[in-house]
């Protein structure tokens, strides 16, 4: 695969690493300015992309869109116009009207278009999902969890995500709550129907674009939800929880069994029943097929986020080659996520239960 990466910050580096490990050749990179593009291209050993017009000449097989949220729609459309398949960071775009357009456009062009909801690629997440499909848990009773970080705990901490003009009207929920909701729906097979949300901004001012300004995005949020089949659930997200780095945690309680997963400790899951409880380790002899496929390191050599991302990119490239891969998150999933985010923002604004609009 010949690959261009648009956006060369932290997540762009993650994409580059995964692309190279999957056998791709990086043929272009675009940063925030032409000067930065030249600097990054020199470091990466590739060509600087100073304008989206260059994509047609470069003719990449795949474009990785890793730019700020407000640029995603423009960058995805440019990639598709250049005839490329696309991997776009979430959110796919700001607002469901744009995400619907991008999902339709990718489908019309016949392109593989994916969104890195990479926590799907933990082997033990696939193990729980396989047991759900097999009916091991029974009817769901309660779905709950959290995703907690502390990278914006300090009033001096900031990023482009803090500014709604660049990141959109939701920050914490759109950034990390979207991961939790995607994972919940992927594992359980349930779909969120209605939400009741509350948001809080605990740090009222931060350095934004060269000066200290009022923050107009949330630091934390709590969301109650119901699914289409009537299951109750809740999720709390925060970017100001001291000591929590990337603690995506869930407990899914079924009629017969419950499952607990903690992304910061991904080598084991807890499985409970009325009569017993057990800790299941990655690499167990009874592991499901997808559990085994995604276990790229031997048991005892911990796998984590990097291997999830590597497997996601490898599965995207395999799909482009015409191979079949289970559980690949597509633009349809990115569009679905935007509908949930929009409902959460609206509910937090009105204080009322709000339906999640189904994708058009």
Note the pLDDT of residue 251: 98
CA distance 170 to 247: 20
* 71, 161 contact by CB (below 8 A): no
What secondary structure letter does DSSP report for 162? G
Tell me the C-alpha to C-alpha distance, in Å, between residue 294 and each of 11, 150, 249, 303, 320: 22, 29, 20, 10, 19
pLDDT of the chain along its 360 residues, tens only?
A: 999 999 999 999 999 999 999 999 999 999 999 999 999 999 999 999 999 999 999 999 999 999 999 999 999 999 999 999 999 999 999 988 999 999 999 999 999 999 999 999 999 999 999 999 999 999 999 999 999 999 999 999 999 899 998 889 999 999 999 999 999 999 999 999 999 999 999 999 999 888 999 999 999 999 999 999 999 999 999 999 999 999 999 999 999 999 999 999 999 999 999 999 999 999 988 899 999 999 999 999 999 999 999 999 999 999 999 999 999 999 999 999 999 999 999 999 999 999 999 865
3-class SS at 211?
strand
Ordered strands of the 220-227 beta sheet? 277-281, 268-273, 257-262, 247-254, 140-148, 232-238, 220-227, 192-200, 354-355
pTM of the predicted model as reported, rounded to 2 decimal places: 0.96
**Residue spans of beta strands (DSSP E) within the chain:** 2-6, 25-30, 62-65, 85-88, 113-114, 140-148, 192-200, 205-208, 211-214, 220-227, 232-238, 247-254, 257-262, 268-273, 277-281, 354-355
Mind listing the domains of the chain with CATH numbers? Answer: 2-114 (3.40.50.720), 120-302+328-350 (3.30.360.10)
CA distance 250 to 237: 12
State the CB neighbour count (10 A cutoff) for residue 200. 13
* 91, 337 contact by CB (below 8 A): yes
Write down the residue that tokens 């600087």 correspond to. 48
Q: Tell me which residue of 163, 178, 127 sits closest to 292, measured CA to CA.
A: 127
Note the pLDDT of residue 285: 85
3-class SS at 66?
coil
CA distance 260 to 270: 5
* 198, 165 contact by CB (below 8 A): no
* 152, 162 contact by CB (below 8 A): yes
């Amino acid at each position: 695969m010949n690959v261009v990466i648009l956006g060369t910050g932290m997540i762009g580096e993650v994409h580059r690493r995964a692309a190279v490990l999957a056998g791709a050749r990086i043929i272009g990179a675009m940063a925030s300015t032409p000067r930065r593009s030249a600097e990054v291209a020199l470091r990466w050993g590739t060509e600087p992309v100073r304008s989206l017009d260059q994509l047609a000449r470069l003719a990449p097989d795949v474009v990785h869109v890793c730019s700020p949220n407000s640029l995603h729609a423009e960058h995805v459309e440019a990639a598709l116009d250049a005839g490329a398949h696309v991997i776009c960071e979430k959110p796919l775009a700001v607002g469901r009207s744009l995400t619907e357009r991008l999902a339709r456009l990718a489908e019309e062009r016949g392109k593989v278009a994916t969104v890195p909801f990479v926590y799907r690629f933990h082997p033990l997440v696939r193990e729980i999902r396989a047991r759900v499909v097999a009916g091991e848990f029974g009817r769901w009773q309660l779905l709950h969890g959290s995703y907690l970080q502390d990278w914006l705990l300090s009033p001096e901490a900031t990023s482009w995500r803090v500014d709604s003009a660049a990141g959109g009207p939701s920050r914490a929920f759109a950034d990390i709550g979207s991961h939790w909701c995607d994972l919940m729906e992927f594992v359980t097979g349930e779909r969120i129907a209605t939400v009741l949300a509350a948001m809080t901004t605990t740090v009222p001012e931060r350095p934004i674009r060269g000066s200290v300004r009022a923050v107009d995005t949330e630091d934390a949020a709590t969301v109650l939800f119901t699914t289409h089949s009537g299951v109750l659930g809740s999720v709390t997200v925060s970017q100001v929880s001291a000591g929590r780095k990337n603690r995506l945690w869930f407990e899914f309680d079924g009629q017969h069994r419950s499952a607990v997963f903690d992304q910061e400790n991904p080598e084991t899951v807890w499985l409970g029943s009325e009569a017993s409880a057990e800790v299941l380790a990655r690499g167990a002899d009874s592991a499901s097929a997808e559990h085994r496929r995604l276990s790229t390191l031997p048991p005892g050599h911990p796998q984590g986020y990097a291997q999830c991302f590597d497997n996601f990119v490898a599965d995207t490239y395999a799909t482009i080659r015409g191979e079949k891969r289970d559980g690949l998150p597509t633009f349809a999933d990115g569009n679905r996520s935007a509908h949930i985010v929009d409902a959460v923002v609206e509910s937090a604004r009105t204080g009322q239960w709000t339906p999640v609009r189904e994708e058009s």
